Amino acid sequence: MDITEVRVYPRNGNDGGLKAFASITLDGTFAVKDLKVIEGEKGLFVAMPARKLPNGRYLDVAHAITKEFSARIQAEVLEAYHRRAAS
């Protein structure tokens, strides 16, 4: 499966560690929106879209099944974020 498009929407202001929202398109046919680029204690990372459960925990709405594909999503979204920040 290929990530055929990545869009990044930087956030202005102080939303804690939230730096941007992002969306990805898979194989030109399926979109996943509301990924988040977050500045954590160990640097930037990508959080998948999630919903808050009644117990206060969060559950991913969409996520990669394999570590390899998760790493590809992370790398491509962060690359697009850095390109956008540099422009």
Task: Read off the CATH number of the domain in which 53 is found.
Answer: 3.30.1120.40
DSSP state of 81: H
pLDDT by residue (tens digit) across 16-75? 799 999 999 999 999 999 999 999 999 999 999 999 999 999 999 999 999 999 999 999
pLDDT at 15 over 80: no
- Counting the structural domains of the chain, the total is 1
Full domain range(s) for residue 40: 3-86
pLDDT at 76 over 90: yes
Which pLDDT score, from 0 to 100, does residue 43 have? 94
pLDDT at 14 over 80: no
Taking the C-alpha atoms of residue 65 and residue 81, their distance in angstroms, rounded to an integer, is 23
Which pLDDT score, from 0 to 100, does residue 58 have? 93
